[in-house]
Amino acid sequence: MIIFDDVWKFPKSRRAKVPLLAGVNCVFEKTGNVAILCQRERDVTLLVNLLTGTEHPDRGRVIRRGAVSWPMGDLVSVKGSLTVRDNLRFVARIYGLDADAFVKYISELADFGKDLNLPMSTLDRAKKQIASYAAVLAVPFDWYVLSSKIKVQEKAVSDIIQAAFRSRLNHASAIVITDDVETALSVGGRGVLFRDGRFDHTESVEHAAQLFLGG
Amino acid sequence: MAEGIGTTVVAPPGVGLGRPLAARARIVFAIVLRQMKIRSGEDRFGYLKEILEPVVIISMLSLMLTIRRGAAPPVGDSYPLFIATGYLPFKAYSYLSSDVRRSAGRDSGILGLPAVHALDALFATVALKALTVLLIMIIVMLGMNLIGYRVIPGDPLDVLQAFFWVSLFGVGFGLVSSVMLEIVPMYKWVHKILTFKLLFVSGVFFLPELMPPEIRYYLAFNPLLHAIAWFRSAFIDGFDSWVLDRGYLVWWSISLFAAGLLVTRVFRTRLSDEGAAHKEEDEFA
């Protein structure tokens, strides 16, 4: 369970008085996907950071009972000068997974065989992102955070990643936080509209999308 | 392939709430390994340089003092021993404080992983740097013994104690500085004095006992002076500094460390904003 307990967040400049988050209360259960639609990109970043815990609320609490993923596809904690293998091993160690099995799984999934010993910075962005998707899916999280649609050029790799994501969602949930309707609809589930620093709960993500597009 | 996830990678204990202490230790260890790898990848001779720096400083200062004042130092057998027992604890302080200051709240992107907390990064930095500085000390001292200077601690346990407290002082100072530099612009100026210039009033080159009483009175407010006096008293047989007040250093270290933890916690929202900006730079590097 993730609980937003009266969460407030204020803008950094003191003159602006309108809060970014005005006492948000929300519960995310371990089962059931949720899509949160935001008007602005910066709201997406803020909500993602609060949810994953990389940013702290100014008032209130975010309680996490379970493991939350980093935003899928984001290249968090990647050090360009380290090899692909070392970067992946670090993630495995952090989450207490068998590092060799972890690296092997990802290299097979995304066909990384030759690139494993290259510095991360020599990979192109697409390849890095594949590594990130594969890494996030190799960790058994309780929640997978998605802020933009899974985009992989190669059809074969894309299919594998989508399949892996679906099979993960059998035992975990997706939390989609986005300003893009298509991304929100790609997973489905409960819909939440983030407006004026508050959550408006709707019955489904389709309903939320209608309201979002309507105004 | 997708079905393979559950079988190739087994769900770990401690990702969520289970076994928090073991999980924390594991995370700290992972960060230490990573920092060592980054360090050795960036600079092949990094550790060699870190060992050479105190060697060069100790030999230059010893040479200068020997020429000026003759062969016998105020205490101990030789100037190299006298300078080493003053410079090495000072080095522990400056090394730890600067690295803690730099890593507090803005480490190289590792805080982007939700499982990694700011405190994990802090503990990793402290563990790695304290061990490094201890290793540097041991290597320098072994080296000095090899070339004929008698540098053997009289009371090794007491030396380690002095090392512990001066390190804690450095960590506390680094934590407080990381916040102060962020919120008090004027502090930059104070900080410069507190880091480098302290070297000259902490008793690295002189013995506070030999100073005029009115100067000694003011010098004794400096906790580092006590750290160095402690280190020397423990190291040099037959020397027992009467200026030294162990409790004074211990209280400074504990208070500064507690204050450091407190301010980094209170101002963490401001610091982590900076950290987030830094993280993005790192991603695309």
Hey, which residues 3-42 in chain A have their CB within 8 Å of chain B?
Answer: 12
What pTM did the predictor assign?
0.81
- B58-77 tens-digit pLDDT: 888 888 888 887 767 788 77
> Quick one: CA torsion of B12, B15, B20, B21, rounded to 10 degrees?
60
| Average pLDDT rounded to a whole number, residues A163-170 | 89
Q: CA Rg, chain B, in Å?
A: 22
Count other Cβ atoms within 10 Å, centred on residue B58.
24
Query: Whose CA is closest to A9, among B263, B272, B183, B117?
Result: B272
The pLDDT assigned to B191 comes to: 87
Residue of A nearest to B271 (CA): A55
pLDDT over threshold 50, residue A118: yes
Quote the CA–CA distance of B152 and A25 in Å, as a whole number: 63
| Average pLDDT rounded to a whole number, residues A95-114 | 85
- B104-159 tens-digit pLDDT: 655 456 777 888 888 888 899 999 999 999 999 999 989 988 988 888 888 899 99
Query: Whose CA is closest to A198, among A60, A21, A45, A1?
Result: A21
* Interface contact A101-B5, CB threshold 8 A: no
Identify whether the C-beta of residue A163 lies closer than 8 Å to the C-beta of residue B1: yes
- B236-261 tens-digit pLDDT: 888 888 888 999 999 999 999 999 99
Quote the CA–CA distance of A63 and A53 in Å, as a whole number: 9
- Whether residue B269 lies within 8 A of chain A, CB to CB, comes out as yes
Between B274 and B41, name the one with better pLDDT: B41
ipTM score of the complex?
A: 0.83
Nearest Cβ partner of A90 from B9, B17, B34?
B34
Quote the CA–CA distance of A100 and A117 in Å, as a whole number: 14
Write out chain A residues lying below 8 Å of B5, CB-based: 105, 137-138, 140, 164, 167-168
Residue of A nearest to B31 (CA): A90
Query: Whose CA is closest to B143, among B84, B188, B62?
Result: B84
